[in-house]
Amino acid sequence: MARARDPIADLRRIAFLLERANEATYRVRAFRSAAKALAGLPAAELTERAGNGTLTELAGVGDVTARCVAESLAGEEPVYLRRLVATEGSDLDAEATALRAALRGDCHTHSDWSDGGSPIEEMALAAVELGHEYLVLTDHSPRLTVARGLTAERLRRQLDHVAQVNAALPEGFRILTGIEVDILADGSLDQDDDLLARLDVVVGSVHSGLKDERSKMTRRMLKAVANPHLDILGHVTGRMVSSRPAGVTGPGDRGHRARTRAESDFDADAVFAACAEHDTAVEINSRPERQDPPKRLIRRALEAGCRFAINTDAHAPGQLDWQRFGCERAALCGVPADRVINTWSAEQLVTWTHNRT
Ligand SMILES: [Zn+2]
Ligand SMILES: [Zn+2]
């Protein structure tokens, strides 16, 4: 029997679309696990098992995923996939579309080395499929233990691993090394200086003490922004407007548990002035539950002369397509493409970051 479609590719596509639609993690996992379980199976056995209904005997393959595989092998687009495609997405206006088209990479992403859900290879593959030229891998730093932050030793190992993965990736695409480093209470950065200097891109974010009083938080952020290792100031206010963070969903929560958080209090004009002075980019974080900074602060950063990075902060491959949300907000605020550092090529980006340190 000739295989008209690739069932593994269909399962991966479904997982991607579910992630992009911000569906609960367990639902996505069913498709990613099935794709992984079936990828190692000889084609003949796959066909035979689909024919006699024994795919579900394999660990990681359930009724729904087995049905998708059977449909795919029969040359039909799986019904599950067809429904997802038919109901997905919204249209962007012309300015947001142009800005999105100008982006050549993503500077804030996570893998399963910290609190992401997928291996580095899978994230990179999804970025290639989106048309990116690069993906900056920015797993968490040691103190963020809840997110399995990387010690200096694990980060060094990750750098070796990334070099290997890069060697196997298509020409014209590469993973850039990076970190989302915690900005500690005193404004210092939570990783060794020599490692920060070695990385291609350093995103720094506040993840603790978000309720610090105004003058303390301002001092903390000003010190971080002035640090020559810091390239991008991540999710500036720390707010959560809705929904849930990635990676903590389960069958019980239906994916819509209320978990909002107010913006932290700091002197935004002082921080943005410092970003402009030190040429530190302000992140426009695209995550639906963050939408950080709020539009009024994007406008102020723009007036202050800051550069921006429109990032996804993706914790799963499908979330890499969330840049559109950040572009929408940036376009509404009138952010021009030439102020956005991820419109640059990987070469330009790395030249910029290395000249800063
Ligand atoms: Zn973060
Ligand atoms: Zn992050």
* Cβ(163)–Cβ(69) below 8 Å: no
Distance 317 CA to ligand 2 centre (A): 14
Residue with tokens 């849930």: 244
**Which ligand is in closest contact with the Cα of 116?**
2
Tell me how far the alpha carbon of residue 203 lies from the centroid of ligand 2, in angstroms: 9
Q: How far away, in angstroms, is 264 Cα from ligand 1 center?
A: 14
pLDDT digits (tens, 9 = 90+) for 47-57: 999 999 999 99
Ligand 1 center to residue 44 CA distance, Å?
45
Asked if 81 and 71 count as a contact pair (C-beta separation under 8 A), the reply is no
Please tell me the distance between residue 13's alpha carbon and the centre of ligand 2 in angstroms: 24
DSSP 8-class letter at 338: G
Residue 134 Cα distances to 54, 168, 343, 344, 350, angstroms:
40, 14, 11, 10, 11
Peptide bond before residue 293 is cis, with ω within 30 degrees of 0: yes
Domains, the chain, ranges and CATH? 5-84 (1.10.150.110), 92-352 (3.20.20.140)
Residues with CB under 5 A from ligand 1 (ion): 205
Residue 253 has a pLDDT of 39
Cα–ligand 2 centroid distance for 301 (angstroms): 21
Residues 223 and 189: their CA atoms lie apart, in Å, by 10
pLDDT in tens, 37-46: 999 999 999 9
* pLDDT at residue 8 greater than cutoff 60: yes
Q: What is the whole-number distance in angstroms between the Cα of residue 67 and the centre of ligand 2?
A: 35
246 CA to centre of ligand 2 in angstroms: 10
**pLDDT tens digits for range 184-196:** 999 999 999 999 9
Single pTM value for the model: 0.86
Angstrom distance (rounded) from CA 212 to CA 148:
24
Tell me, what's the pLDDT at 248?
43
